Each structure stands twice: as C-alpha cells, then as structure tokens.
Chain A
Amino acid sequence: MPDVTPSPPSEPHVLDQPWRMWSSLAVFGVLLSGILLGVLVIPIVQGRSVGIDAYTAICRALGILPGSPAQPQPATPLPGMPVSQVAWTSDLLQILARADVRRGHAKVQEVCVACHGERGDSIGVEFPHLAGQSGAAIYKQLFDYRTGSRAHPMMTDVAKALDEAAIADVAAYYAGQPQRNPNPVTLAEAPPSIVQLVELGDPKRNIAPCASCHRAGAGGPIETPVLAEQRAEYIEQQLKLYASGERRNDVYARMRTIAAQLTDDEIRGLAFYYRAGFR
C-alpha cells in the first residue's frame, strides 16, 4: 500500500510564481481583447460601412448616444393631443395617499351627494356607484372631465369646479366607503361563457381576462376601476361608448380595443356578472 507521507514541500512562493504570473496575464489578455473589440473595433468597422463616424459609432456602442452603431437613426415625428392628461408620477401618488378624507366628505356632501349618494350608492341607474371604488380610478375620471379628455353634460362642469386637491380628497373619501357587499349571486347563475371571459379572457380575440386588471391586486394599470357591485346599466353604457369610440380617455385604447370585440350579449352578461358583486 503506497504510503502517502507528504515529502517536505519546496518553498511555496517559488512554486507559485509562474501560476501567479501566467494566470494574471491570461485573464488580462482575454479581458483586454474583449474591451478592444467591443468598444473600438466592432463599432468603428460597422460605422464605416454605413457612413457613421468613429466617434458616434463608439458612443452608440457604449450607450452614451441612442441608436445602433450600424444603422441610421430615424427622425422623431411631431407631437399632438393626448387622450388623457393624467400621468401617474410618485408625487401624484403621494397626493392621493395623503388626501384628506374629512375634507373629501365635506366636498361630497356639497357637490356629489345628489347623484352618487353619501356613501357612494348612486340614486339612479345612469349614475355609477362609487362606494369602495379605487381612488386612482375616481381621480383619473374627474381629472379627465376637467381637461375635457372625457365629456359629460353634468360632470364636466362639476369637475371644472374642483381643484386638484379636492379631486384627491373626494376620491379618497369614496374609496374608503365600504361596498354594499350583498351576498354575491352564486357563480352557477353566471353563464360559463361569461365566467370564462372574466377568468381566462379569449386568446383568439386577443382579449385579456377582465380579472387580470379589474380584480383587486392583479398588478394591472394604476387607474383600473373596481367593477364589483357596479350598476349593470352603467357598465353596459360605458362598454358601448368605448366600442363606438365615443369615450376615448382610456390610455392606449385598452378598453376601446377590447369593447369593440365584445358582442352585445357578452357586454350584458359581463354587466350582470359584476353587478352581482363578483370580484
């Protein structure tokens, strides 16, 4: 059995010197060739074939200038009118978070109670319930009424009378109101095609599930309204307005695109589904 007694080691640093030198040389060599090729050689060669000077090509390759080192950059078109002026920035979200519910309650009693009710249960079929609605959703719609991105015989003037802080307070107040929470009609009553549209959407028509945005906490767009326990007539009316394009304050035509592809009985089915209070 060979005995494996360690023979006295020669001085380690002598043995180590070549390793230290050769490995550092190899690693730096590889790194340098990568930097040389990536930063200088490739951009310059590519730039020359398309008539981009070396300096611009290198800046583009490093990401200091926009564009590819090998392609001309297209011109940017002229600006135009947006569909909605609301831009969610962190200070706007701070305003919403710190809105004063008491002042909101006072403003609601002064302006909104006639149609939307004190706690957000609207008095008429044509007025939406606002109890438990998302604060951001109310804020955006009021702001759109104020800037004219959305028009309504009464709401435009009401919104114009409110300043930005008042809008945030009203939104926070209604958002805090508990929804009526009737016992939701069991799912059995909702036709399976509607439940599927809400839960799975329709990949054929490019329709995402309603729940992927409208269910609380789904992680969808900030201004997505809560639909549960909303008035069926109101949902139906708004979907039809989106479908016809008359209402166009949805950013990037999200709702206009979907509503245009829904059939009338799908629209009615969805309206009753959400009126029943399903989340």
Chain B
Amino acid sequence: MSQTHPEMHERRILHTELMWSFGVGIFVAASLSMILFTAFTISVNPPSNVERLDPKTLHLSGEFAEHNLGTTVGSDGSVTVRAIATQFMFLPRCIVVPANRRVTLRFASPDVIHGLLITGTNVNTMVVPGFVSQVHTEFTRAGDLLMPCHEYCGLGHSEMWATVQVMAQDEFKPGSDGRISCAQR
C-alpha cells in the first residue's frame, strides 16, 4: 500500500470518525435532554388521550350530542370545550375560551379523519373517528384566533374552519348553567 505505514493512517481515520461520533452523541443528547427537561418541569407532552368512542352513535345522546357542545365551566371552575369536527364544519363554529386559565378542549369526529390547530398557539391535534381527542392548554393573549381543519377530509376541506374568541378574564362570564358562547361581534 502507500509508502508510510498504512496502520497509522487507518487508525487515525477511525479515531477522527470516533471523535465526530462523540460530537453527534452530544447533538442527540442535546435534543433529547431539552425534550426531557420540559417534560419533567412543565409537563410538555404531545396531546395523548386514548379514549375510544363509537363515531357512528356519537350524535345520539352521549357527551358529544348536539346540545352538549360548546364551552362549559364546571362547578370546580374547570373550563371544558366540547366540539365536533364533521364534514366540512366545526360545531360550534365559534368557540369562546378564557385567557390565562387552564382549558381542556375535547373533539370527536362522526365521519372521517379531521385535524385542527389554533393559529399562534400550541393547540394541535388530529381528530380520528373512533377516538376522543383532548388538548389541555392555556391561551396567553386575548383576541380572535383561527381554528382550521388541517387534515384532508373531503372536497370541502378548504372551507372547514372555526373561530376561537379568547376573552379576557373579566369578560368571560358563564351563564347560570355554566355554559357560555361567543359574543356577537
């Protein structure tokens, strides 16, 4: 082989590759440790709530019957939003939520796969028929946000969106039955 003894070369190459692999290890550790750090300290998870619900009888009389939809404030002050993602609209079309307060949003689909995100927030989930999708979040700023369906659900997918009204604490006044709907603007 080459005049200078090859062993020196070959081992040196593997040595540099090993050093580089060590650097790659730091890269992997950095990305994973940030994930673990926020998972431990502020419980950052992807929204995962494995709760099965038959999409075919969703509209009959359970949690997601038509009159149960919308924002309700429980006796313990917990805010829960229930909405349906169906072919080509969300029901309710306008969802009202309080700012700077823990909110639980629950979605279900009676027909095909949908998905949703609320612009500018970390609310993002798929809505799969057969399951209830649940997202816990806190809205940091008041204002109107857009909640489009971001998963292809048929020819009307582009027109499927809802509005989210984030109300300041003082405006957010639920009725006697704990229910509240969007302010007409």
Direct contact of A and B (CB under 8 A): yes
CA distance A66 to B136 in the complex (A): 13
Chain A interface extent, by class: 35 or more
A201 lies within 8 A of B159 (CB):
yes
Q: Which residues of A contact B93 (CB under 8 A)?
A: 206, 257
Determine if A55 is an interface residue (Cβ-Cβ < 8 Å): no
B56 lies within 8 A of A76 (CB):
no
B159 lies within 8 A of A208 (CB):
yes
Our pick among A63, A72, A211, A257 for the contact of B89 (Cβ within 8 Å) is A257
B159 lies within 8 A of A77 (CB):
no
With known contacts A89-B56, A220-B87, A77–B72 Cβ distance under 8 A? yes
B74 lies within 8 A of A74 (CB):
yes
Which residue, A66, A74, A211, has most C-beta atoms of chain B within 10 A?
A74
Closest-CB distance, A256 to chain B (whole angstroms): 10
Instruction: Give B36-53 interface residues, CB cut-off 8 Å to A.
Output: 36, 39-40, 43, 45, 47-51
B156 lies within 8 A of A75 (CB):
no
Determine if A134 is an interface residue (Cβ-Cβ < 8 Å): no
Q: Which residues of B contact A257 (CB under 8 A)?
A: 89, 91, 93
B61 lies within 8 A of A218 (CB):
no
Binary contact readout B82-115 vs A (1 if CB under 8 angstroms, 0 otherwise) = 1010111101010000000010101000111000
Determine if B128 is an interface residue (Cβ-Cβ < 8 Å): no
Partner-A contacts on B (CB < 8 A): 1-2, 36, 39-40, 43, 45, 47-51, 56-57, 59-63, 65-68, 72, 74, 78, 80, 82, 84, 86-89, 91, 93, 102, 104, 106, 110-112, 132, 134, 136, 154-156, 158-162
Apart from A50-B43, A77-B82, what 14 extra A-B contacts exist at CB < 8 Å? A2-B2, A46-B40, A67-B134, A71-B43, A77-B72, A82-B65, A89-B57, A201-B158, A207-B159, A212-B155, A213-B88, A220-B88, A220-B156, A221-B111
